[in-house]
Amino acid sequence: MPETLQNGIIVDSSLSLQQALSLRQTIEPSKEVLDRLGIADVTYYSFDGKLHQGQVVLDRELLPDVKQAFALITRLKFPINSVVPAMDRNFMSDEEKKQTENNSIGFNYRKIAGEDRFSNHSFGRAIDINPLFNPYIKGEHSYGLDYDPNRLGTLTAGSEIVEFFKQRGWVWGGDWEDHKDYMHFEKPDKRVIPAEGSNVFEVEADHSVSKEQYYSEVLSGETPDAFFVLGGGNRAIEGKSGKRYTTSPYRGKFYPEKTGGAKARPVAAAELAGFYPHAKIVTMSHRPSVLFQSAEQENQPTNSPSFASVLEGDLKRLGVKNEIVQASQSTSTLTEVMQVISLSVANGFRSAAVVTNDYQIERAQKILDILIDDDKRILLKNQLQFLFKAGEESEKFNKKWTAFEASVKEYLSEGYNLVFVPAEDVLARRSPHYQTLVTRLKEEEGYKNVGEQERVGNERIGKWEYNFAQPSFKEFILES
């Protein structure tokens, strides 16, 4: 039975640091890790409505943050089931597991489930809060109860507790895109030397400049009126409420042969939107949806939503509140860049930024160079016009091309400006989680394969050997 202090506080844990660290772990922690750990008493109201005292073991550097966080938790009367240092669950009895399934915990020396690398908990750089109510969710699998933001003891994006941790440089697992870990807060630090080949501490962000300055440099000092997010791959996810669409992750349908990661684009755009809140976000399509599909696309579904609408959905799920300006359908990088010019002029976006994966930047830039060069643009038109039959099709092409020429003329004469932003450069600074993802990604053969494919195509564009007169362009003209 827990003891009760004279002031009425129920004591859930009163261990010494030595006692807490002697609790059995599956893997023996190194002395270097153990020497950095400390223990702190914390108070909280539990679900019985009474004030409790527990203890948390963490890197000593993080104890002040966590003690202040629990002072806030106590003041808010946010219910916490328990905060008790615990041994590895592999050594627990069934009764002990039941008692601790909703226990909030910091240090726990273990590897990430299903992976051969250590969790940040192993170094005392992470804490889980009410894990049963704030589950880990990946795909259709949820470890804990269903996530219910209205349940007492549940953390949400608008929670003062979440904001408190984030203001002090902690990362919340509820912000992650490839999975959700609502219980989890972490603050990685390069001081910790992990076990060989183990974890994210091998990567550390350069904090010599602020995020504001870093993103300003990424944008070449421009303050954009709009971000154009180029379309990429979509995937359908079957859930309890039916099918929904989202952008493809790096480990998508063609992994490991190809590693594209279109999801990087909305994540990067959402991050930038936080620093440039007055900029519009224009989502783009990049897929023939019904007509004229090329051979490699003929097995793709034609009834799925446009990439532009899927990007818009991803941005909204990421919390972007700007009004989304959705481009009319474009069907290739060529037509996307054409739309960037036309929509910039139509909406007065004097300064704009294109956000896409870094491997697509050179291609988009080369196409822009062609479109704003009078002689090259004539050559391009001559190549494209053979797609259209004499009569109505040809008339429609000429009409739209004339309107585009007028946009280009104004774009150049009025000094519109466009910068290209690699999504990976933004992700690398967004959080340690994404920085680790990007660092490892660039070593994968699938990512290098995509880069090589782009390099070959860019070389053909540079030599004027690339044929832009493809069915996707015809669809853009006739269907948009």
For the chain, what is the radius of gyration of the CA atoms? Answer: 27
Which of helix, strand or coil describes residue 76?
helix
- Is the CB of residue 281 less than 8 Å from the CB of residue 343? no
pLDDT along the chain (480 residues), means of 10: 65 88 73 87 94 94 93 95 78 66 87 68 91 84 79 94 92 88 84 38 52 90 94 70 74 80 91 92 73 43 73 85 80 93 96 95 94 95 93 94 97 95 91 79 87 92 91 85
Residue pair 219/421 in contact (Cβ under 8 Å)? The answer is yes
C-beta separation of 64 from 42 below 8 A: no
- Quick one: CA dihedral 352, 356, 362, 366, positive or negative? negative
**CA pair distance 77, 86, nearest whole angstrom:** 24
Give me the numbers of helices (H) and strands (E) for the chain, helices first please: 16, 19
Q: How far is the C-alpha of 229 from the C-alpha of 266, rounded, in Å? A: 7
What CATH code would you report for 211-479? 3.40.50.620
Segments making up each domain of the chain, as ranges = 3-202, 211-479
Q: Is 121 exposed, middle or buried (0-12, 13-18, 19+ CB in 10 A)?
A: buried
- Terminal alpha carbon distance of the chain: 71
Q: What is the pLDDT of residue 294?
A: 41
Strand pairing partners for 83? 104
DSSP 149: T
Residues in Cβ contact with 186 at an 8 Å cutoff, skipping those fewer than 6 apart:
120, 125, 126, 127, 170, 171, 173, 432
pLDDT given at position 177: 80
The answer to whether 23 and 103 have CB atoms below 8 angstroms apart is no
Query: Please, how many CA atoms are within 13 Å of residue 437, restricted to the half-sphere of its CB?
Result: 23
CB 144 within 8 A of CB 174: no
